Structure 1
Amino acid sequence: MTKRMLVISPHTDDGELGCGGTIARFIREGYEVRYVALSCCEESVPEEYPKDILRTEVKAATKILGMDDPILLEFEVRKFPQYRQQILDALIRIRNEIQPVTVFTPSSFDTHQDHKVTFEETLRAFKQCTILGYEQPWNNITFNTLAFVAFSEECLRIKIDALRCYETQKGRPYFDAGFIRGLALTRGTQVEERYAEAFEVIRWVLR
């Protein structure tokens, strides 16, 4: 592993949902973890909220996880296939700036159109990096649980607290604390740990 990691989130909240416990653990172990959201989803914000509310929510959520200054881009939600080259260019700029060795991104099994583009362009932009695909069961038909990161009750609570910052998303069942805890328990049980998150190994680079 490395002291420098990058979490790539197609939309605000995806990174926290997919690997929030992992982020909390590694930050508390002294790793440098940076976060980029490719879209703040202004087009899909419920009418009763300000259009930029997700910018506020993601900043609060990532702060709870232990990250400052998330990188927030403005690609239009559900239209990533139209912006494939621009997304690749943005990821290359971020790669050159941050120079991570380990990258977390949506898995190859994710069926959401924006997530699929994010996965594919991550693979192109970060060829020299270890790349782990995080799990989002509501978008996956199947999933290869090839890597696990175990974490403590404290890190699980931090993940749940971070996700509570998303007032706009509270009605979604996968934001429910019971679901988040249940999935962490399931993945932990698979590796004889209390809690864990599972990842697809997309690329593993040892130097």
Structure 2
Amino acid sequence: MAKGQKDKQPPKVAEDEEPEESGPSSPAEDSSLVAQSERTGAADAKDAEAQRADESNEADEAEDEEVAAAQLGSERYVLAGFFAAGMLLAYLLGKVVHGVWATLANKDWFSRTLPALAAVGDDDKTTYGMIVGGVVALVVVLRAFRNAELRAWSDEVAAELAKVKWPTKKEVTNATFVVIATTTVATLYLALLDRFWAFVTNIVYGDGS
């Protein structure tokens, strides 16, 4: 009886027995890994290409902005020059009109011929003179602006001015401090030198005190 029970006991698994190692991967798994690697490489290449395209687009946009800024700066100089010339011309013509009008108003023949113009006050003469000068200056400036040769010359001058590198605020401040310090030192030096030579002159040519 004991022998039968002993035979029915299940066999024990050896503790030292190691799990069976898996065999080599199948060709399907290898092809799947290769396909996944290719997809990853293709995705990386696409990302790199997209990044290079974005960088190229940014560089092109920056270059376009620089060109536009340069053109705008040149055009700005041209417009500012014509505007300043128009304002100056309007002021001068206004003064000329006022001066001529005031001179003629004092003439008897002008008072008899055009009494309404002769009776206008001096302040009104100035206002009307500025209006007339402004209209004439506007016409002259517009005709000059539309002149091809004058416009080409002004564009060339503005392009050369756009190439000038103007100093920054910090550079101007530093240069101003340097000039002030140098002027102060030179003034003190010359003042002390003048006092010294005055002292020496008094000793040589004076009473010796």
Higher strand share: 1
Q: Which has the higher contact order (CA 8 A, sep 6+)?
A: 1
The TM-score bracket by the shorter chain reads: under 0.3
Considering only CA atoms, is the larger Rg found in Structure 1 or Structure 2?
2
Higher helix share: 2
TM-score of the superposition, structure 2-length normalised?
0.18
TM-score of the superposition, structure 1-length normalised?
0.18
